[in-house]
Amino acid sequence: MKNIKSLIYLVCIFLSATLYSSCIVSTVVGTTVDTTIEVAKVPFKVASAAVELATSEEDEE
């Protein structure tokens, strides 16, 4: 009986660790994807600002 109880505890600990690790992995992956998307947007924002500056100077003349 004592061995079965120990086995059940070990299985529960193993399953808990597996579930928590998958949550951590999904959080890390989600953060990495969000960061990558924001970094990819930067060149477009810079180009947009440059175009806006160039066209606003032409409009004033």
The residue length of the chain stands at 61
Where do runs of H (alpha helix) occur along the chain?
2-60
d(CA 36, CA 51): 24
d(CA 22, CA 9): 20
Cα torsion 14, 16, 20, 25: sign: positive
35 contacts: CB under 8 Å, gap ≥ 6: none
- In tens digits, the chain (61 residues) has pLDDT values of 678 888 888 888 888 877 777 777 788 888 888 888 888 888 888 888 888 877 865 555 5
